[in-house]
């Protein structure tokens, strides 16, 4: 029976969910958004289709994100979404239930971990495993975690920042801060409202961040190939990537009429700097608690950054500048966590010390 059982690794993120099928790699990568009917809670759309509905739904449908700050905020909708992802990955007519591994933030409480396991089993899993996010990100970034030396990984996603020092296959020191990409979007929306009296939605705020967001406000040329075509289309409209300013469309807070303004890169950097400093303070607090032997290893090897928010222009340079430790972004940072989760479920005997099972 074991040979017929499919194994899935799921990165259930606040912004995006990615599914890894053992033997096939990434089979699904969609936004963590679900649209349901108000009357009976029936799921209308999931993923990309639901994200297109954000802020545009009629009164009888609501589109929302069931994950908040890296943990489940709406249990029923998360279960329905997981069920949809499992059906898409392994087919609806399955004889054997799949084994599923899901990553959770290191700072998640026992109740939050239990909710993830229960939702996974209810969605159709035979066995549910949990792996901590920084550990999965480290495996996915090809860090040799089993060695007796210190490695530092910082996974900055949509809802939470996970900073951890890993040695001998386990997390030695960690810090979980519920500040990440979504808080950057909020800061941008608040800045535009306060300075220009313009109300913008979360999609526009994210588009501004992708197009002209810069951690250091410099004019550094950036290779735009690291952004997906979808992000470029969403972000640019008619401007070229990278740009030093961007047209922003929204609703005037006073007149209530549609209006267009222009926001510059320098303004944006000033708006997001407090959030970036909050993220970096989490990284610093991990470094401060790291044992001296491991700290010496980290100075040699540097900090590895993963997660979508680590793609923000010059963020690695800002981390290096503020911590004094060289930082670099992992290859394909958006997929590090799911790749690590996939590797762990494919080689469960090797990693069983690092995961919990139900």
| Residue 181 token pair | 């990409």
C-alpha 224/C-alpha 210 separation (Å) is 10
Tell whether 20 and 66 lie within a shared domain: yes
C-alpha 166/C-alpha 210 separation (Å) is 30
Number of domains in the chain: 3
The one-character DSSP state at 353 is G
Could you tell me which residues are beta bridge partners of residue 21? 8, 25
Most confident of 54-63, 106-115, 288-297: 288-297
Tell whether 167 and 248 lie within a shared domain: no
- What pTM did the predictor assign? 0.85
Tell whether 41 and 70 lie within a shared domain: yes
Most confident of 217-226, 293-302, 346-355: 293-302
The residue-averaged pLDDT of 66-93 equals 85
SS3 129: strand
Tell whether 261 and 281 lie within a shared domain: no
Most confident of 51-65, 234-248, 283-297: 283-297
The pLDDT-based confidence of 306 (bands split at 50, 70, 90) is: very high
**Containing structural domain, residue 98:** 2-136+336-357
| Residue 324 token pair | 């004094």
pLDDT at 223 over 90: no
Q: Report the CATH number that the domain containing residue 289 is assigned in CATH.
A: 3.30.420.40
Could you tell me which residues are beta bridge partners of residue 243? none
Tell whether 262 and 160 lie within a shared domain: no
pLDDT at 228 over 70: no
pLDDT at 328 over 50: yes
**Which pLDDT value is given to residue 217?**
76
The pLDDT-based confidence of 283 (bands split at 50, 70, 90) is: very high
The pLDDT-based confidence of 2 (bands split at 50, 70, 90) is: very low
Tell whether 171 and 308 lie within a shared domain: yes
pLDDT at 225 over 70: no
Tell whether 205 and 244 lie within a shared domain: yes
Percent of the chain scoring above 70 in pLDDT: 91
> Residues 108, 67: contact at Cβ < 8 Å?
no
| Domain boundary residue, one of 240, 272, 304 | 272
Of 323, 338, 166, 196, the C-alpha closest to 264 is 196
pLDDT at 314 over 80: yes
C-alpha 326/C-alpha 296 separation (Å) is 13
Q: Are strands 99-104 and 7-12 parallel, antiparallel or unpaired?
A: parallel
* Cβ neighbour number for residue 129 with a 10 Å cutoff: 25
Tell whether 187 and 213 lie within a shared domain: yes
Tracing tokens 């009296």 back to the chain, one arrives at 197
- Which residues touch 233 (CB under 8 Å, ≥6 apart)? none
Of 74, 217, 141, the C-alpha closest to 64 is 74
| Domain boundary residue, one of 238, 256, 272 | 272
> Residues 15, 157: contact at Cβ < 8 Å?
yes
Tell whether 197 and 326 lie within a shared domain: no
> Residues 27, 34: contact at Cβ < 8 Å?
no
SS3 273: helix
The pLDDT-based confidence of 316 (bands split at 50, 70, 90) is: very high
**Which pLDDT value is given to residue 227?**
42
pLDDT at 311 over 90: yes
Average pLDDT, the chain: 86
- Which residues touch 76 (CB under 8 Å, ≥6 apart)? 41
Q: Report the CATH number that the domain containing residue 211 is assigned in CATH.
A: 3.90.640.10
The residue-averaged pLDDT of 279-285 equals 95
SS3 128: strand
Q: Which residue has the higher pLDDT, 354 or 305?
A: 305
> Residues 323, 280: contact at Cβ < 8 Å?
yes
Tell whether 10 and 131 lie within a shared domain: yes
| Domain boundary residue, one of 272, 290, 308 | 272
Tell whether 57 and 113 lie within a shared domain: yes
Tell whether 347 and 199 lie within a shared domain: no
C-alpha 8/C-alpha 307 separation (Å) is 20
> Residues 71, 112: contact at Cβ < 8 Å?
yes
**Which pLDDT value is given to residue 358?**
66
């Amino acid at each position: 029976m074991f040979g017929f059982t499919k194994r899935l690794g799921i990165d259930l993120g606040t912004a995006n969910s990615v599914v890894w099928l053992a033997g096939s790699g990434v089979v699904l990568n969609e936004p963590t958004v679900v649209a349901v009917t108000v009357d009976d809670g029936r799921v209308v759309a999931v993923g990309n289709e639901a994200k297109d509905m954000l802020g545009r739904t009629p009164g009888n449908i609501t589109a929302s994100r069931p994950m908040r700050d890296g943990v489940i905020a709406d249990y029923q909708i998360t279960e329905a979404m997981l069920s949809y992802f499992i059906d898409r990955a392994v087919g609806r007519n399955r004889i054997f239930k799949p084994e599923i591994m899901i990553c959770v933030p290191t700072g998640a409480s026992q109740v939050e971990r239990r909710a993830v396991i229960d939702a996974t089993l209810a969605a159709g899993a035979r066995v549910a495993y949990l792996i901590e996010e920084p550990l999965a990100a480290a495996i996915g970034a090809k860090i040799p975690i089993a060695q007796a030396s210190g490695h530092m990984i910082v996974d900055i996603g949509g809802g939470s920042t996970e900073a951890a020092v890993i040695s001998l296959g386990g997390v030695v020191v960690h810090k979980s801060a519920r500040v990440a990409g979504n808080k950057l979007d909020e800061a941008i929306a608040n800045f535009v409202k306060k300075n220009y009296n313009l109300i913008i939605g979360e999609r526009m705020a994210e588009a501004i961040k992708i197009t002209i967001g810069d951690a250091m406000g410099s004019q550094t040329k950036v290779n735009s190939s690291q952004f997906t075509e979808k992000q470029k289309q969403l972000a640019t409209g008619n401007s070229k990537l990278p740009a030093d300013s961007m047209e922003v469309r929204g609703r005037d807070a006073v007149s209530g009429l549609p209006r267009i303004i222009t926001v510059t890169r320098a303004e944006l950097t000033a708006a997001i700097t407090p959030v970036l400093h909050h993220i970096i303070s989490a990284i610093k607090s991990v470094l401060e608690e790291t044992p001296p032997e491991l700290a010496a290893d980290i100075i040699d090897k540097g900090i590895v950054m993963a997660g979508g928010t680590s793609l923000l222009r010059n963020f690695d340079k800002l981390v290096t500048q503020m911590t004094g430790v060289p930082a670099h972004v992992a290859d394909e940072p958006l997929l590090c966590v799911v790749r690590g989760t996939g590797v762990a479920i494919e080689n469960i005997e090797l990693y069983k010390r690092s995961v919990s099972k139900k």
